[in-house]
């Protein structure tokens, strides 16, 4: 690489060891590559479909710019010229890195156009390759590295596979690396599957989208898309319909005896499709009702699960809105007597997701969960139990909650004086519990004045507003005291 090997990047935004070096160290230590933190203030990993120098939306022609292409080409011209200047004078490379890092957000938006402009200029491939490797191997900021990955997609080869695959296993670089692999012809199904299994965020979403857009997939990949591909820590509905369609969900459910894993996945996929979101949803899935009918038939003889119940709630709401003829079947599934036993057991023993799901199902089937919520509130005093116990309009229960709050909440510790705190985090748990009770008081004039008084002196600005709203709802004649001012 000649002159490029002697260059060092110093004094640029996101300084420190090269990102490639840190990824290699994590790989050698057996740590997940996405555990390598990117420099503070660096642009986050782009969502699939964003034009960030990594091609176009999964399944679209690589390098396409869409409706905003002309504007992005105009914004890209200075960066294209800067890259071409580096290819004439290698001493400009550090300045290019600094420019890309300093204008990270703007550079990300037009990197597709930058790559197209560089390719159109037909620069010397050896120099372009040297610059691409230098940006990828020495870059200390994500945007210059992504630019280098994009350039490698133009001029790289088989020797880049280990490097590209390493970057692809970091969520912040998956898309740029996978597009480079695709441009070089190394995005075969097996490679993408191996990468997808190693990811859990936007990187998995990107690769799943690419796999799902292919006209033919192996049975193993289709099965994986159905059972695992849709699972991510960003937003399950993002790829639920794509996985159901590409995995042939309806066809799989039509089998004589669909297994429990498939039934669980079908609940997740159909529920996520019904929930909807920014991506495809129920209305976009052409086999939605057929798959639903097959799933309902398959679970008729199986013991219900909380995850199935939560999905049924989403599906019921969707079918009510559309007037689907399958609505009575969904209602029948929710009317099974086993739900009451399952819900009561979960409410008494479970926490987290299971407790929340049981609470929602209880509300739908008419199970009175308040005694359990209040019993757990008294025993555990967790904010989640306060929230659920306060979901009542019964006057006697509200009086019970207010009395309990007045007796147990540290009102003096809450009323430390006005401030601008947001009230987030464990330190503000008492304030969060008080908020739950404050929401009940506007319709009960005079009840809970000690709570309102404490909230008026809370450091949490929104809590003071809620307390003022309670007073505003009460007739002035029941105010225990005149508020200051």
Dihedral sign, CA of 385, 386, 391, 394?
A: positive
The mean per-residue pLDDT over the stretch 23-46 comes to 80
| Whether the predicted pLDDT of 108 surpasses 90 | no
16 pLDDT more than 70? yes
pLDDT tens profile 57-100: 333 334 333 334 555 667 788 899 999 989 988 888 888 998 88
Q: Report pLDDT digits (tens) over 376-391.
A: 999 999 999 999 999 9
Residues 273-301: what's their mean pLDDT?
A: 94
pLDDT for residue 134: 93
Query: DSSP letter at 394?
Result: -
Answer yes or no: is pLDDT of 4 > 60: no
Other CB atoms within 10 Å distance of the CB of residue 313: 21
* Structure-block tokens of residue 392: 């009542």
What whole-number distance in Å separates Cα of residue 291 and Cα of residue 137?
48
C-beta separation of 62 from 183 below 8 A:
yes
Largest CA distance in the chain: 86
In tens, the pLDDT along 288-303 reads: 999 999 999 999 999 9
Q: Is the pLDDT of residue 47 over 80?
A: no
Q: Is the pLDDT of residue 40 over 80?
A: no
Six-digit token pair at 81? 């010229």
Q: What is the pLDDT of residue 72?
A: 62
What pLDDT, on a 0 to 100 scale, did the predictor assign at position 56? 36
The DSSP call for residue 225 is I
pLDDT of residue 43 exceeding 50? no
């Amino acid at each position: 690489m000649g002159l490029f090997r002697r260059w060092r990047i110093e004094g640029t935004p996101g300084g420190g060891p090269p990102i490639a070096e840190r990824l290699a160290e994590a790989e050698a230590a057996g740590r997940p590559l996405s555990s390598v933190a990117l420099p503070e203030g660096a642009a986050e990993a782009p969502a699939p479909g964003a034009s960030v120098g990594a091609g176009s939306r999964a399944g679209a022609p690589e390098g396409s710019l869409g409706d905003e292409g002309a504007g992005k080409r105009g914004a890209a011209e200075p960066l294209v010229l800067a890259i071409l200047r580096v290819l004439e004078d290698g001493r400009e490379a550090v300045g290019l890195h600094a420019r890309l890092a300093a204008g990270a957000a703007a550079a990300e938006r037009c990197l597709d156009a930058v790559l197209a402009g560089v390719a159109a200029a037909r620069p010397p491939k050896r120099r372009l390759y040297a610059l691409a490797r230098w940006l990828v191997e020495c870059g200390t900021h994500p945007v210059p590295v992504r630019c280098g990955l994009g350039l490698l997609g133009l001029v790289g080869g088989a020797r880049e596979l280990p490097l590209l695959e390493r970057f692809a296993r970091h969520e912040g670089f998956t898309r740029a690396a996978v597009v480079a692999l695709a441009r070089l012809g190394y995005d075969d199904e097996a490679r993408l599957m191996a990468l997808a299994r190693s990811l859990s965020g936007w990187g998995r979403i990107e690769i799943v989208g690419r796999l799902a857009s292919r006209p033919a997939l192996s049975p193993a990949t289709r099965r994986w898309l159905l059972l695992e591909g849709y699972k991510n820590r960003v937003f399950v509905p993002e790829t639920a319909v794509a996985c159901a369609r590409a995995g042939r969900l309806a066809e799989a459910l039509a089998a004589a005896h669909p297994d429990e894993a498939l039934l669980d996945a079908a609940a997740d996929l159909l529920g996520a499709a019904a929930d909807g979101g920014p991506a495809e949803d129920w209305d976009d899935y052409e086999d939605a009702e057929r798959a639903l009918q097959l799933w309902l038939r398959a679970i008729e003889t199986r013991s219900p699960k909380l995850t199935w119940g939560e999905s049924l709630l989403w599906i019921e709401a969707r079918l009510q809105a559309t007037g689907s003829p399958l609505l009575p079947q969904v209602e029948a599934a929710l009317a099974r007597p086993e739900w009451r036993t399952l819900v009561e057991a979960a409410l008494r023993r479970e926490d987290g997701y299971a407790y929340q799901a049981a609470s929602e199902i209880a509300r739908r089937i008419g199970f009175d969960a308040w005694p359990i919520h209040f019993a757990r509130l008294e025993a555990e005093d967790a904010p989640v139990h306060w929230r659920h116990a306060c979901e009542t309009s019964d006057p006697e229960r509200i009086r019970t909650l207010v009395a309990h709050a007045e007796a147990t909440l540290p009102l003096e510790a809450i009323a430390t004086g006005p401030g601008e705190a947001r009230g987030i985090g464990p330190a503000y748990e008492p304030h969060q519990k008080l908020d739950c009770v404050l929401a009940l008081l506007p319709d009960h004039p005079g009840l809970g004045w000690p709570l309102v008084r404490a909230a008026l002196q809370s450091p949490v600005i929104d809590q003071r507003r809620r307390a003022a709203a309670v007073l505003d709802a009460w007739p002035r004649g029941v105010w225990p005291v005149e508020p200051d001012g």
